[in-house]
Homo-oligomer: A and B are copies of this chain.
Amino acid sequence: MINTLVEKISTLNAPVVVGLDPMLAYVPEHVQKKAFEEYGETLEGAAEAIWQFNKAIVDATYDLIPAVKPQIAMYEQFGVPGLAAFAKTCEYCKSKGLVVIGDIKRGDIGSTSGAYATGHLGKVTVGNKQYSGFSEDFVTVNPYLGSDGVKPFIDVCKEENKGIFVLVKTSNPSSGEFQDQLVDGTPLYELVARKVNEWGEECMGDVYSNVGCVIGATYPEMGKTLRKLMPKTYILVPGYGAQGGKAEDLVHYFNADGLGAIVNSSRGIIAAYKQDKYAKFGAENFADASRQAVVDMVEDITGAIAKAR
């Protein structure tokens, strides 16, 4: 699956992913109103609102981007109807040719990680039949439980040609509390990075591994070091834009081939119409604002890369 992702990024010259993290507060009034008219102010109504919101944004941007990253928490907060909207969003994005990165940050002991891997990347057996519970192409994985919490995901990746991104250094302010702790002079996130390398060797694509990692845009110096430490690992980079990460800080997340990283923006794209910069589109045309924000983001990042070369 990493080959597919790399190919799409190269063809579009767009190392970006749109985070489909639809807080209800981002969904324009008219979209909410229509959904509530049909389903009431219910969990189903909220799910319909975020689904229609997602669909419009995907329709307006799918030709510009290689991938989307729906954050499952934003759906899970609306319970079962929310998760149905998550599943529907993943399926729709795949039907539009997008690579779907499920931002699920799961991780547990072996057999339980196996169930998550089956549910999100694989197929579950029911009697004599098999089904995909959810059907992302990649998922994000939390490494705190160690190898036997990660390996079941890798096993499914091998069987199904899927991929994962393992949390190495997250973008949030307190990520250093545990991740930066020094173990014999080496920060914990580097120990995790070394394991990512090991795990990645088991599941290589042509150039990059199907085992990628997550490194926040908000820690560019660490990103630079980690890039060198994991040359074959694709880096999923959250934290650009709204969280404070800047394009010029991100050039070192890329390899000399111009590849090796994919930068996520969620709020900055899906709620673009709320920014002064895109206010001219108006809430009615929120998806057009998102399209323009994608164009600007791609230009910002590819521009910074070109400038740094």
Residues of A within 8 A of B (CB): 21, 23-24, 32, 36, 41-43, 45-46, 71, 73-74, 76-80, 82-84, 87, 105-113, 115-116, 118-120, 124-129, 131-134, 142-149, 167, 170-179, 181-184, 188, 191-192, 195, 238
Contacts and interface: CB of A to CB of B under 8 A. Distances in A.
Given A142-B144, A144-B143, A146-B174, A73 B129 contact: no
Given A73-B106, A119-B77, A82 B133 contact: yes
A42 B110 CA distance: 25
Given A73-B108, A127-B45, A144 B179 contact: yes
CB-based closest 4 A-B pairs: A79-B133, A41-B127, A146-B174, A146-B177
B32 A127 contact: yes
A288 B83 CA distance: 35
Nearest to A173: B148
A109 B145 contact: no
Nearest to A129: B41
A126 B24 contact: yes
Contacts of A131: 42-43, 78-79
A112 B72 CA distance: 9
A113 to B, nearest CB: 8
A79 B132 contact: yes
Contacts of A148: 172-174
A154 to B, nearest CB: 13
Residue of A21, A78, A171 with most partner-chain B CB within 10 A: A78
Given A45-B126, A108-B73, A145-B174, A133 B78 contact: yes
A172 B127 contact: no
A146 B238 CA distance: 17
Given A71-B112, A127-B32, A131-B43, A77 B172 contact: no
A73 to B, nearest CB: 4
